[in-house]
Structure 1
C-alpha cells in the first residue's frame, strides 16, 4: 500500500494547482504549528487527558516503523513515539479510555492508560482502511477506500463487518457522524487501482437506516478529512491532492476554499467549543481559530 501512496505523492509533486475560489482566510487565525512529524494523517483530542494523539504514517520507513505521537494543547510533542510498531496508521477515534486506529487492513483497539493494543479487528476482502467515526451509541464505522465500502466494528466478536459497498460512496476516505447520518468525504472513483488516477470526489450522505447514499455536493477534488463547519450547518473537507480546506454547503452543493493549504492535507479535526481547526499537512500540524466577523 505504501507504493500506492508514493504514487499519489509523485502526482502531487508534478501537479500545478490553481485556485480561483473565494477564501475565508481572514476569519481563520493561525495559532500554532507543530512539526516536523512523520507524515501525519489524523489528529484526535482526548478530553480525559487534555491532549492530542496523531497518527504518523512514515511513508519512507519500513513496515512496523509508523507511530502514534502525543501532543499537548499548544502542539508541543509530549511523546513522539507514544505507540510504535504500526505500519501505516490513519483514522483515529476515542471512546472513553480506548483509542481506535486504522492500519491498512485492520483496526487496532488500544487501551490508552497502558498504551497497549488489546485487540485487532479485520474483515474479509479489506484492502485499504482510512478514516473512522463513532455514532451516538459508540459504534465505530470505518471507511474502505479501494473497495468503496463502509465497515462497522463488531466489538463482541472483534471483527469488521461490511455495512455497504457501492460506487455511490465514491471511494470513501473521510467519515463524520452527524444528525443520525454518516457523512462521507468521497475520494473520487479510482481507476486502475491507482488512487492518484481518480475522478474528483464529493460529499455523500448515508442514511444508516435505509443504507441509501446520496451525493450532496458538486465534484470538488480528492476529499480526505471531514468535519462540521463553525456555523454547524456546512462541512469542512480537505482536498488531499489539490490542496486547501473547503467549506461545503449541503443545501446548494457548492464549495469554496476556507483555508488555503498546499497539497497533502489529511484528516482534520474541528473542536466547536474552542472554534479551533487542526490540519495535518505534509509533515506539519496547523492549528487555526475561527474569528467571528
Structure 2
C-alpha cells in the first residue's frame, strides 16, 4: 500500500506569503492519505455448463463476451470438441455453441472484424459477422499456443511450451521473440508495447527487442490486462488474481481452496469488470474492480 502526500495552504494570509516568498513554510499542512487497496467484488456467475472454459474476451463493439471452451480434460488433445460460446455482460449464456469443431481453444483477440483464437498448433480466424471460421493458420513447430493480443492490424500470440511469441500480419506468421520460459499471458499497450507473463514474472518488450521484468513476484501468469498508469491485472491459473505494478502486487482474489481456477481473464474497461473463466468449474464469474 502506498501513501499519497497531500499538500495544502491554510488561510488567505498563508497563501499570500507563499505567493510572495516561496521559501516561507508558515501555514503549510501535510496530510497523509493511504491509497485504496484494490479489491474484486463478485457480481454474477454463469451456470456451470461452459465446459472447461479457458478464456474470456469482452467485445467492446457488441458488449458481449466470447468464451473459449476446451470441453475436455486434456488441453493439448485434438478431439474436435472445442467451442466458443457467447455470453451477455449480465451473465446470460446467449449461444453455447457459437463456433464448434475446434480442439482446445484458448486465448482470443479481435482485429478488423475477426476473432482470433489459438488452437494447439494453429491460429484460427473467425469472421464475427458471419459466425464462421474464415481461416486457419498453421504455425510451424508450435506445441501449445496460448494467449492472444492484437494491435494495429497485427495479432500476437504465445507458445507456452516453446517459449516463443509469434505474430500474424498480412496473412504471414512470424516469430517476434523467443526464450521465454512458460510464456502465457499477453497484452499490447496503446503505443504498441508488448507485455507478457512467464516464469520470470511480468515483463515488457523494449524497443530493441530485449525484455525488462516489471514484477518478478507474479510468476507463471495466465491472463493479463493493462489498466494504465503502470498498473496491471494478472491471473494465475491455480486460482489467483493480482493487481500489480513495478513496485508492488496485491492478491485480490484467491479461489484455490475452492479448487476454482482463474484462467485467461477478460476485462470491461468502461465498467471496470473483470471476467474470470473458472476452467474445471465450467462457469464464468464477473467481479467489479475497485482501485
TM range (shorter): 0.7 to 0.9
Counterpart CA distance in 1 for 2:223 and 2:83 is: 20
Match in the other structure for 2:10? none
Match in the other structure for 2:114? 98
Q: How does 1:105-144 map to 2 (within 5 A)?
A: 105-135=121-151, 137-144=152-159
Aligned-residue CA RMSD (Å): 2.0
Does residue 52 of structure 1 match 2:65?
Answer: yes
Instruction: From the superposition, tell whether residues 234 and 48 of structure 1 become closer, same or farther in structure 2 (CA, over 3 Å).
Output: closer
Counterpart CA distance in 2 for 1:58 and 1:112 is: 22
The correspondence for 2:89, drawn from 59, 67, 73, is 73
| Contact 1:170 1:202 survives alignment (8 Å) | no
Unmatched segments (≥5 aa) in structure 2: 1-35
Task: Give the number of aligned pairs.
Answer: 246
Does residue 35 of structure 1 match 2:33?
Answer: no
Does residue 259 of structure 1 match 2:253?
Answer: yes
Match in the other structure for 1:148? 163
Counterpart CA distance in 2 for 1:48 and 1:205 is: 28
Q: How does 1:15-34 map to 2 (within 5 A)?
A: 27-34=39-46
Counterpart CA distance in 1 for 2:86 and 2:103 is: 18
| Contact 2:86 2:93 survives alignment (8 Å) | yes
Counterpart CA distance in 2 for 1:245 and 1:50 is: 23
**4+ aligned runs moved over 6 Å, structure 1:** none
1:38-92 Cα deviation digits (max 9, x unpaired): 1111111223332111000112387101110011121111111111000000011
Q: Secondary structure at the match of 2:176?
A: strand
| Contact 1:245 1:261 survives alignment (8 Å) | no
Instruction: Report the Cα offset of residue 264 of structure 1.
Output: 2.3
| Contact 1:40 1:281 survives alignment (8 Å) | yes
The correspondence for 1:218, drawn from 213, 216, 220, is 216
Q: Secondary structure at the match of 1:216?
A: strand
Is the radius of gyration larger for structure 1 or structure 2? 2
Instruction: From the superposition, tell whether residues 214 and 291 of structure 1 become closer, same or farther in structure 2 (CA, over 3 Å).
Output: closer
Counterpart CA distance in 1 for 2:270 and 2:241 is: 20
Q: How does 1:131-280 map to 2 (within 5 A)?
A: 131-135=147-151, 137-155=152-170, 158-166=171-179, 169-178=180-189, 179-186=191-198, 188=199, 201-207=200-206, 209-229=207-227, 232-241=229-238, 243-250=239-246, 252=247, 254-262=248-256, 264-280=261-277
1:207-233 Cα deviation digits (max 9, x unpaired): 2x311111121233421011124x643
1:174-216 Cα deviation digits (max 9, x unpaired): 0010143110011x2xxxxxxxxxxxx4111112x31111112
Instruction: From the superposition, tell whether residues 110 and 232 of structure 1 become closer, same or farther in structure 2 (CA, over 3 Å).
Output: same
| Contact 1:226 1:236 survives alignment (8 Å) | yes
1:245-273 Cα deviation digits (max 9, x unpaired): 012122x2x32201222352111112221
